[in-house]
Structure 1
Amino acid sequence: MKVKKYITSIVMMTLSLALTVGCSSSETNDKQTNEVNSGEEVVVATSVAVTEILDKLGVKVSGVPTTSYDLPESAKDATEVGSPMNPDMEIIKSLNPTVVVSVDTLGEDYKKTFTQNNIPSEFVNLTNVDGLKETVKTLGERFDKTDKANEILKELEDKEAALSNKEKNDEKVMILFGAPGSVMIGTNKSYVGNLVQICGGNNVFSEGSSSYIQVNMEEIIKANPDKILVMMHALPEETKKTVEQELAKDSWKSINAVKNDKVIYLDTEYFGMSANLKAIEALDILGDILYEQ
C-alpha cells in the first residue's frame, strides 16, 4: 500500500512538472507570437553601416556584426552574429528575426545562404551616396520611420546642393585603395570615388568597369596625379605599410603627388568601403583636402 501511494505521488509530481514546463514553453511562444502580432520587429544588422542607419532611424536591433569598430550605444545589448562577410547563421536563427538587413555587394551565394536557412532578409545598396539615400528611404518605409528618414535625407541633399555650387577643381586626383599585401585604384563607382565626384574633384581614373581596378604604372605615369588619396581596408597600420612600400618604388618617383608629398591617408572612420551616415563629415573633410591652398 505504501509502495502504491509512493508511485502515485511520483506520477503526480511528474505530471505537475510537465504541465509547468509546457505552460512556460507556451507562454514563451505566445510572447513571441504577440510580439509579431503587435508589429514589434526582431531585427538583425550584419554590417556596421546598416547598424548605424537603423540606430539613426530609431530601430532597435537584436543582432549586430562582430567588429572592431564602435557601434551605437543603442546596440550595446545586441547579440554579435559574426563578421559582416561571413555571419553565423545558427546564431542569427536563434534570434528568430523578422528580418536581417545586409548590404547587397557580397554576391549571390551570400544571399542564397539566407534563403537556404529560411531567414527573412533584405539587401540594401551602400555602394555610393545615392544608394545610401535610397537605403534610408527604404528602411524608413519598412520600419514606419519615414519622418526620421526624411530628416536624414534632407541633411544629405542640402550638403550635396551646397557642394554643387562650388567651382570645380581641375587638380588631378587619384584614389589608391590599400589592403594588406595589395593596392588597387578606385574609380567613381567606389564610395570614395563617388565622394570625390560630389565634391567636384577630378578623379583621373573616374571610369572603370568596377569600383576598383588593377594598378597600371604606364597609365598612372601618363595621368600624373597631383594628389593621391589613400583609403585603407581593415588593419590600417598593416595596410599603410603596404601602400608606403608600393609608393617607395622607383616607378612612382616621377609622379607629382609623390614628389610634392601630396599623398593623403584618409581616416578609416569616415572613408570605408560602404556609404554610411558619416558621409556629410566625409564630404567636409574631402572638400578641405581638395580645395586646400
Structure 2
Amino acid sequence: MKKFAGVGLLALSLALFGCTEQEEKSKDSVEVESQEQAAKDPVVETDVFKDGVDEGKFQEALATFPETVPDKIVTTSVPLTEMLHLLDIVPVGVPTSTNPIPTDFDAITRIGSPMAPDLEVITSLQTELIVGASSLQETLDKALVGMNLQTAYLPTDSYEDLKLSFKVLGTYFGKEEKMNEILQSIVAKEKELETLAQGKELPSVMLVMGTSDSFMVMNDKSYLGSLVERLGADNIAQSVLKTESTYSAINLEEIVVADPDMIFVLASADHGASEDKFKQEVAQNSAWTQLSAYKNDKIYMLDYSTFGVTSIANVDTALTTIADYFFNDNQ
C-alpha cells in the first residue's frame, strides 16, 4: 500500500506541476495577446496623434481667456472669424473687411475694421468678450481704455499661429471633437508631404511680396515663409540675407549672390501690386535676369486669396501648392 501511495503522491505532484506550468503558459499567452491588442487599440492610436502645437504657448494663450465662457463674443479678426465658423461658434459681431467672411455670417453685425472697430456698435451688442489678433493688441487696448470689456488675443500671422489659435478656441469653447477632426486632417497632410520629401533635395527659395510702393522679401515670420519652413526648404531671407523684419526691402546685389533656385511672388492688383508690375520691376533691373530662378523659369506668381491671407481652412491647399512646386521638376 505504501508503494502505491508513493506513486499516487508522485502523480499528484506531477499533475500540480503541470497545472502550474500550464497556468504560467496561459499567463504568458494572455500577456502576449494583451500586448498585441494594445498595439491595435484605438486609444493608442489617439495617443500617437500629435498636433504639433507648442504646449507651453497653448496653455499660456488659453489662460488669457476669462474663466467663465461668455455667450456674446465679438471678433475683430478675419482669420479668427473663420475659426469660429469652423467650430460652429456664432459671434454677435464680426469685422468689416475686404477679405472674405464666411457667408453663414452675412447676417451678423459688422463692427468695423480690425484696426479701428466701432466701439459704440460693440457696446450696443452687449459684448462680453472681444477676441482679436495679437498683432493688433496694442492698438485695440488703447481704443478700449476706460471701457469695461474683457479681451483675449491670439496670434494669426503664421501657419503655426493658426494651429495654436484654433486649438485654443476649440478647447476653450468645448468644441474639441470638431477641433481635433480638423487638426488631424492638417497633420495628415503634413505627414503625407514629409513622406514625399524623403530622399529629395529641396530648393532654396526667395519669397517676394508686392505692395503699392515696391516689392519686399519675406522671411519665415510671414505666413508664406512659415509654410516654406514647415516643408523644410531653405528661405534665403533667413539663411543668407539674415533679415530680422518679416518684410524687408529688396537688395538685388545680395540676392544675386544668394541665387535662389525658386522665387515665389505674392502680388495682388487689389493691394497695389500685380503680375504686370513685377514684370516691369524685372525689366527695369537686369540683375533679375542673372538669377538661376529667372534663367530656369522658376519664378512663380502665387494666388493672393490663398497665400495673402492667413486661413486655417486654406492651409491644406497652401501646403499642397508649395509642395507641388518643390517636388515636381517639370513645372
TM-score, length of structure 1 as denominator length: 0.79
Partner amino acid, structure 2, of 1:276: I
Distance 1:125 1:189 in 2: 12
Write the deviation string for residues 48-105 of structure 1: whole angstroms up to 9, x where unpaired: 2111100001100221221223321321111112222222222222212121211111
1:292 equivalent to 2:321? Answer no
Bigger mean CA offset, 49-58 vs 178-187:
178-187
Distance 2:311 2:142 in 1: 24
Distance 1:213 1:158 in 2: 33
> Secondary structure of 2:226's partner?
helix
Number of residue pairs matched by the alignment: 256
Distance 1:212 1:69 in 2: 21
1:197 equivalent to 2:216? Answer no
CA contact (8 A) 1:181 1:242 kept: no
> Secondary structure of 1:105's partner?
helix
CA contact (8 A) 1:187 1:208 kept: yes
2:204 to 146, 157, 172: 172
Deviation at 1:125, TM superposition (A): 0.9
CA contact (8 A) 1:182 1:242 kept: no
Aligned to 1:4: none
Distance 1:146 1:233 in 2: 36
Larger radius of gyration: 2
Deviation at 1:187, TM superposition (A): 0.8
- Counting aligned pairs with the same residue, the percent is 34
Aligned to 2:267: 232
Distance 1:121 1:242 in 2: 41
Aligned-residue CA RMSD in angstroms?
Answer: 2.3
CA contact (8 A) 1:180 1:242 kept: no
CA contact (8 A) 1:199 1:287 kept: yes
Distance 1:154 1:183 in 2: 36
Gaps of 5+ in 2: 1-67
Partner amino acid, structure 1, of 2:110: E
Partner amino acid, structure 1, of 2:325: I
Aligned to 1:20: none
CA contact (8 A) 1:57 1:148 kept: yes
Write the deviation string for residues 168-200 of structure 1: whole angstroms up to 9, x where unpaired: 543221100111112211111211111012223
Write the deviation string for residues 152-181 of structure 1: whole angstroms up to 9, x where unpaired: 221222222222232354322110011111
> Secondary structure of 2:127's partner?
coil
1:87 equivalent to 2:123? Answer no
1:69 to 83, 99, 104: 99
Distance 1:205 1:112 in 2: 34
> Secondary structure of 1:277's partner?
helix
Aligned to 1:150: 180
Partner amino acid, structure 2, of 1:163: L
Gaps of 5+ in 1: 1-37
Report the structure, 1 or 2, having the larger helix content.
2
